[in-house]
Amino acid sequence: MIIGPGQDLVNKIRIVPDFPKEGIEFFDITTLWNDGEGFKKLNDLFYEKYKGMGITKIVGIEARGFLSAAVLADRLGCGVSLVRKPGKLPYETISESYELEYGSNEIHLHKDAVGKGDKVLLMDDLLATGGTMAATVKLVEKLGASIAGIAFIVELDFLNGRAKLGEHEIFSLIRKS
């Protein structure tokens, strides 16, 4: 079942069966971005949710989280920072490791990307098991910023990723149970 304020956008998302491996349904949001009307509605929904909240930075997660984070940061008049894989950021970083079902991974954030006094929104395209976002929460908190919320385009409820994200407010445009 599909629910959420963006549920009418799901028909603009290509569902690719058995990608990246058999049994996985991949939500390819590039088709939503490719649709001008759908892309505008996506961005309008995020803006309506977060306007007036005093957000000073949006942290987007590599790579699909970058686009929504950048558009919303522009609309809100705040900064945007990037969480990246190892070796992709040119300045001093902090890092956090997280577990995957088949191993582990690591993400990085510039040491000066956010700090005390920043009210930060974290954004990614999809919430599955929550490992990447949980690591991002730790990075932002290590730097002393407060987290205003966590936002996703799509959330796969059946994987229970929310459980890894603590008490932070989570907003997903589309939720699949």
CATH number, position 158: 3.40.50.2020
Residue 6 maps to a domain: no
Contact indicator for 18, 24 with CB cutoff of 8 Å: yes
Residue 3 maps to a domain: no
pTM: 0.95
Residue 82 maps to a domain: yes
Q: How many separate domains does the chain show? A: 1
Helix (H, G, I), strand (E, B) or coil at 38: helix
Structure tokens at 108: 């990085």
* Paired strand residues for 154: 126, 174
Residue 25 maps to a domain: no
Residue 45 maps to a domain: no
Summarised one tens digit per residue, pLDDT across range 70-83 is 999 999 999 999 99
64 a catalytic residue: yes
Q: Which residues form the domain of 131?
A: 54-176
Structure tokens at 157: 């409820």
The yes-or-no verdict on residue 101 having pLDDT over 70 is no
Catalytic residue among 64, 96, 155, 175: 64
Catalytic residue among 22, 37, 92, 101: 101
99 a catalytic residue: no
Summarised one tens digit per residue, pLDDT across range 33-55 is 999 999 999 999 999 999 999 99
How does residue 148 score in pLDDT terms, banded at 50, 70 and 90? very high
49 Cβ partners below 8 Å, 6+ apart? 151, 171
